[in-house]
Structure 1
Amino acid sequence: MKKKVISLILAVSMVTSMTACGSSGGGTTNNNNATSQTETPSEEKKDAAVVENSALLTDKANIDNSVERDSITIGWQDATTLAPWGTNNDTPGNYEVYEMLYECTSSGERYGVLADESKGNFEPGCDHEDGTGIYTVYIYDYIVDHAGNPITASDVAFSYNYQFNNETTSGWDDFIEATAVDDYTVQFEFSKEQENLGWFDNFFCRCFIVNEDSYNASPSKLANDMCGSGPYKFVSYTSGSNLVLEKNDDYWQNDELRHQEQHANVKNLTFQFVSENVQRVNGVATGSLDMVQDMAFESITDFVDGGQYADKANVQAYSQKFIYYLDPNCSEDSPMHDENLRKAVFYAIDQDGLITALGGAYSRLYAYANDYYSDYDMVDWANVDTYNSKTAVDPDAVKQYLDASDYNGEKLTLMVMSTFADTATIIAAQLAAYGINVELLQVDNATANATQADSTAWDMTFGMMAGDYNVQAWSHDFSYNNTSTGDRTTTFIVDDEWNDLLNLCNTEDGHTAENMQAWWEMAAEHAYTMGIYAGNNYNIVPEDCTYVCQGDKLRFLPGACCFKAE
């Protein structure tokens, strides 16, 4: 992830300097000189400082939990409920107050929290009966919640069954029920043995555990208050205003068994609900906010070296999970059925020029893969020789493939959500420079799927995709299972070998570097798709923050961050 963050910060500084010099970042640029801006020595020094600082904030060598900050106020999105249920729960404070059987680091490494990893032979803390849908998890025998109630196996079963029965889960189709075997042993029953990639994390890392008595004692059933076993405990909640937590001095876990995400390096945490970006910037400038979760892109230059508030805070940038892509219509109804035309199109796209023209808010991709996901580093995508990894547009290559195609200048229809019309317009201009004519077809959520299902309605589509792994994003976009006929992709690709390899990549045993690279090389060989860019998010942290802690799905954990003594 660091490479992408570094290139992003450089792009931000470059775009800022271009704007100051009177250059336009919103217009179309020539393919061959879109990234030809040269930085001055002073700009290079500023960029070097920003790069170094950004890397330091996520360097685990800087983890030091010896300094305790008295308080942190963090700007966060509003919360209409504090309820802990749901596999996609993003409620502020939940990861500080509640805990799961297992959780994951920001890089996707799983670790036991309530699960006792000293037991079990299938996974640490877990046993499994081969050939069955039975999985058994062992928990520690000394877990206590903030009300003083012990967390036992019956509470684990209660939490899982409650969450499942209230339909707040995703990907739990095979789950039947959880049952307490004894006080510290829980049995989970599925309709069949689980084999799909990522199933363990999607199940065992997606349910906060609540003591049933504490739940029943809550007047709001934990919708307006909180009671868990985590390193922070609930103080107060004011809807539309803030959530206040304090360090749990009686945290149950031994220091030597804590992971970084379980540390509490701040005595008092206040999640201040501030949605307006101007208010967030002013909050940091005036000192009413110490941190901001996901500051808007247009404001981050205020906090980098040379910005007006650079002495008050630092920027930590990280990738969003979405992969933004360009897919061709490979049906015989489209000119893009021609493989040579598809290659001409992909070789003509200047990703760096596109990103610069969009203001530098994105990071280029070297494949249909995003470094947000833990399986990104399994393959050296930038060194797999494809149109996606090119360092610059090669006009000769574009001409070669265009001459070999049957294309005669007809208009190609690029389908795009109106949100991304600017991107599509720049792509169309880049292709026009090589005689490839493109018209835009803007769609919305209500019409996109129906339009894509019509092979005569479009020739290319620009969109975004995500999953829990890169290979799952591939599956969401290209699996035969996504179509009613089950014999092609949604982009009308018929390639059984490619589909079989995709299915293999999405199994626990088949998720290997060799299979992933082979699938991508087949995709590039036939020009089935192109990764364009990834978006980025930005956290603002105070000057005394030395390490930014993020958890599963890059969840910002302000209390587990590290600080230096003042």
Structure 2
Amino acid sequence: MKNTRILSLVMALMMVFSMTLCNVAAAEDATTVVRVGIDADVSSISPFGPMDGGRAYVYQAIYEYMAQRVAFGASWDAMDLVCAKSITQVDDVTYDIEMYDYISDSAGNHITAADYVWAAYAMKESGNYPKMFVLDTIEATGDYSVRLKITDNGLGNLEWLLSMVPIISQSAYEASADKMVNNPITTAAYQVETFVNGSEVVLVKAENYWQTDESVRYVWSKQNVDRIEMKIIMDATQMSVALKTNEIDMAELITPAVLGDFYVDGQATEGWIVDAQPATMVHSVVFNCSADSECNNLALRQAIGYAIDNETIMQFATSGYGKVLNAFANDCASDYIDAWNERDYFGQDLDKAKALLAESGFDTSQHLKMLVVHSDEYERVAQVIQAQLLEIGIIVDLNVVDGALQDTEYSISTAWDFGFAARGCDDYCTFPWMLLFNANGFSSGLNINLINDPTLQELYMACSSPDTHSEETVAAFEQYLEDQAYGYGLYTGMRYCVANSAVCTALDMREGGEIKIGGCTYVWND
């Protein structure tokens, strides 16, 4: 009997010990996962695919670059180095870049200067990035060094190139059957496991990440989670429900319309973490001034400007958590002119709008076409503008397109008469101006208005050059833009990112931008 009891005790202890070992093994094998909601479709994750709202959320996690900005307006010598070991200025437009000599991608392909030279030219030839006009020449000067020349030393030109040309292997790209459309092989700390257009992007931690020196790792290379599941949820209410039902752990953007569930009186409610940042976007109207559009008529453009109630649009788009713009600029820009806040600017004046419409001679039996990118917020704004213009007798048809197609649609003179455009103003007022109004940035030689106005171009060159950039040149460009009614600012908002505090204890945010998901603090590494 005694022996039986001893045997039973030994067996029980062995079972407990075995279960403990199993639990330890399970803990050691556990994969940490965070699920993130994003509010825009990701049309492309290929290395040189077009930029859109969804890609903006993921491209810095999927690809690495020579250097990255960590603050608004940071010059090239204040950027975080990533694949560049050093950057040296030779003259105003020439820079020498030394790369690390041990960079490799997730498949073990060694990265050299030749790969970077190829990638820069391939990106320019893709046609998806009009701003690649700033690349003049690039050549390898050694196995791990290049000389880069830009077309001009305009504000932000070099910094943009350094932070946008992806570091990938030419041989891996050319060996890829679909040219890395679905499974890019990159040097980044996270690799794409799954990409389903319109549904999700799944990233997994790269176990063989090349940069093992923690002291020089930059912010996007932190690996505080093993698996990142990014789910595309474009409806604001569904995003809120997904958070509350634990379908997702954090949301890249919660709109003000549903913010009250997570954020009240400037404070996160119990169980949630909220990061609030001023948005950098300039939401605006731009006009097709080509001969194919009725909006080549200045009086008609002005009539539209005075028919639109910016305040109502801002309230409708941001639930009051935004502000009306008083220039084609965002006051987050380092060169924003405070005096703009006190001036008269476009805003609803129906009597003036009707008088200008009559002056224009526009036949109101004709319909105008408004181009808008597919987005819950943008389409709602477009519908408000549509209703406001109807008040003065202008009938508007909406041309709603996916983000990946907007550049193509804007280039077709018969596809639109005016458009609702959104561009970031992260560093300088000149940045959205460059993307929209700099004719030199378009292969056609025509700007977003489908014209090349020599006066506008001259004013742009003056305000964008470091040698002549000043309050006077910035003001002169913006005033001419207003006088010609080529476009005008409507509103900007706030960005609210929300996380479940049972999963994430601290958000790591890019200034004015998205969550650095791998850099956040989670309950498992707090």
> In which range does the TM-score fall when normalised by the shorter chain?
0.5 to 0.7
Superposition TM-score, scaled by structure 1 size: 0.62
* Contact 2:369-2:398 at 8 Å conserved across structures: yes
* Contact 2:386-2:396 at 8 Å conserved across structures: no
The CA deviation string for residues 287-338 of structure 1, in whole angstroms up to 9 with x for no partner, is 231112344564433332399x943434445536343137799x9x999867
Unaligned runs of 5+ in 2: 1-30, 372-378, 401-408
**Paired residues for 1:146-545 under 5 Å:** 146-164=106-124, 169-173=129-133, 175=135, 178-188=138-148, 193-212=151-170, 222-230=180-188, 232-234=189-191, 236-237=193-194, 239=196, 242-246=201-205, 248=207, 252=211, 254-264=213-223, 266-275=224-233, 277=235, 280-295=239-254, 298-305=257-264, 310-316=269-275, 319=279, 321-325=281-285, 351-356=310-315, 360=319, 363-371=323-331, 376-381=333-338, 384-388=341-345, 415=368, 417=370, 419=379, 422-424=383-385, 427-428=388-389, 437-442=392-397, 444=399, 450=413, 463-464=420-421, 466=423, 470-474=429-433, 500-521=458-479, 530-534=488-492, 538-543=496-501, 544-545=504-505
- Are the structure 2 counterparts of residues 347 and 84 from structure 1 closer, same or farther at C-alpha, using a change threshold of 3 Å? closer
User: Secondary structure of 1:541's partner?
Assistant: strand
RMSD value, Cα: 5.3
The CA distance in 2 between the partners of 1:335 and 1:88, in whole Å, is 28
Residue of structure 2 aligned with 1:88, choices 44, 51, 54: 51
**Structure 2 partner of 1:29:** none
How many aligned positions are there? 458
Letter in 1 for 2:34: I
- Are the structure 2 counterparts of residues 510 and 263 from structure 1 closer, same or farther at C-alpha, using a change threshold of 3 Å? farther
* Contact 1:323-1:370 at 8 Å conserved across structures: no
Alpha-carbon deviation of 1:507?
2.8
The CA deviation string for residues 231-258 of structure 1, in whole angstroms up to 9 with x for no partner, is x243733645551312657551644434
Alpha-carbon deviation of 1:365?
0.8
Letter in 1 for 2:146: V
User: Secondary structure of 2:263's partner?
Assistant: coil
* Contact 2:200-2:231 at 8 Å conserved across structures: yes
Letter in 2 for 1:83: S
**Structure 2 partner of 1:9:** none
- Are the structure 2 counterparts of residues 338 and 224 from structure 1 closer, same or farther at C-alpha, using a change threshold of 3 Å? closer
Letter in 2 for 1:369: A
User: Secondary structure of 1:531's partner?
Assistant: strand
- Are the structure 2 counterparts of residues 412 and 423 from structure 1 closer, same or farther at C-alpha, using a change threshold of 3 Å? farther
Letter in 2 for 1:105: V
* Contact 1:328-1:529 at 8 Å conserved across structures: no
The CA deviation string for residues 333-372 of structure 1, in whole angstroms up to 9 with x for no partner, is 9998679x96x9978865334433567275411211135x
Alpha-carbon deviation of 1:537?
5.4
- Are the structure 2 counterparts of residues 79 and 384 from structure 1 closer, same or farther at C-alpha, using a change threshold of 3 Å? closer
Letter in 2 for 1:246: K
User: Secondary structure of 2:225's partner?
Assistant: strand
* Contact 1:284-1:312 at 8 Å conserved across structures: no
The CA distance in 2 between the partners of 1:492 and 1:369, in whole Å, is 21
* Contact 1:87-1:206 at 8 Å conserved across structures: no
* Contact 2:37-2:248 at 8 Å conserved across structures: yes
Alpha-carbon deviation of 1:200?
1.8
The CA distance in 2 between the partners of 1:80 and 1:422, in whole Å, is 24
Alpha-carbon deviation of 1:558?
1.1
The CA distance in 1 between the partners of 2:95 and 2:44, in whole Å, is 32
- Are the structure 2 counterparts of residues 562 and 363 from structure 1 closer, same or farther at C-alpha, using a change threshold of 3 Å? farther
The CA distance in 1 between the partners of 2:192 and 2:126, in whole Å, is 27
* Contact 2:136-2:149 at 8 Å conserved across structures: yes
Alpha-carbon deviation of 1:439?
3.0
The CA distance in 2 between the partners of 1:426 and 1:212, in whole Å, is 51
The CA distance in 2 between the partners of 1:158 and 1:537, in whole Å, is 36
The CA distance in 2 between the partners of 1:477 and 1:163, in whole Å, is 19
* Contact 2:286-2:420 at 8 Å conserved across structures: yes
Residue of structure 2 aligned with 1:100, choices 65, 87, 98: 65
* Contact 1:245-1:269 at 8 Å conserved across structures: yes
The CA distance in 2 between the partners of 1:283 and 1:269, in whole Å, is 19
The CA distance in 1 between the partners of 2:410 and 2:141, in whole Å, is 50
Letter in 2 for 1:422: Q
The CA distance in 1 between the partners of 2:330 and 2:315, in whole Å, is 19
Letter in 1 for 2:64: E
The CA distance in 2 between the partners of 1:283 and 1:406, in whole Å, is 46
- Are the structure 2 counterparts of residues 353 and 447 from structure 1 closer, same or farther at C-alpha, using a change threshold of 3 Å? closer
Alpha-carbon deviation of 1:166?
5.3
The CA deviation string for residues 95-147 of structure 1, in whole angstroms up to 9 with x for no partner, is 23431112223635352321223x51x2xxxx45x7xx865321133434444
User: Secondary structure of 1:116's partner?
Assistant: strand
Alpha-carbon deviation of 1:185?
1.0
- Are the structure 2 counterparts of residues 247 and 360 from structure 1 closer, same or farther at C-alpha, using a change threshold of 3 Å? same
- Are the structure 2 counterparts of residues 269 and 311 from structure 1 closer, same or farther at C-alpha, using a change threshold of 3 Å? farther
Alpha-carbon deviation of 1:523?
5.3
**Structure 2 partner of 1:48:** none
User: Is 2:526 the counterpart of 1:561?
Assistant: no
* Contact 1:328-1:336 at 8 Å conserved across structures: no
The CA distance in 1 between the partners of 2:202 and 2:94, in whole Å, is 39
User: Is 2:68 the counterpart of 1:113?
Assistant: no
* Contact 2:106-2:208 at 8 Å conserved across structures: no
* Contact 1:366-1:382 at 8 Å conserved across structures: no
The CA distance in 1 between the partners of 2:208 and 2:272, in whole Å, is 29
**Paired residues for 1:41-52 under 5 Å:** none
The CA distance in 2 between the partners of 1:258 and 1:272, in whole Å, is 23
The CA deviation string for residues 6-41 of structure 1, in whole angstroms up to 9 with x for no partner, is xxxxxxxxxxxxxxxxxxxxxxxxxxxxxxxxxxxx
The CA distance in 2 between the partners of 1:336 and 1:134, in whole Å, is 43
- Are the structure 2 counterparts of residues 319 and 416 from structure 1 closer, same or farther at C-alpha, using a change threshold of 3 Å? farther
* Contact 1:143-1:253 at 8 Å conserved across structures: no
* Contact 1:87-1:170 at 8 Å conserved across structures: no
**Larger relative contact order (Cα-Cα within 8 Å, sequence gap ≥ 6):** 1
User: Secondary structure of 1:267's partner?
Assistant: coil
- Are the structure 2 counterparts of residues 85 and 275 from structure 1 closer, same or farther at C-alpha, using a change threshold of 3 Å? same
* Contact 2:250-2:498 at 8 Å conserved across structures: yes
**Paired residues for 1:2-17 under 5 Å:** none
* Contact 1:106-1:554 at 8 Å conserved across structures: no
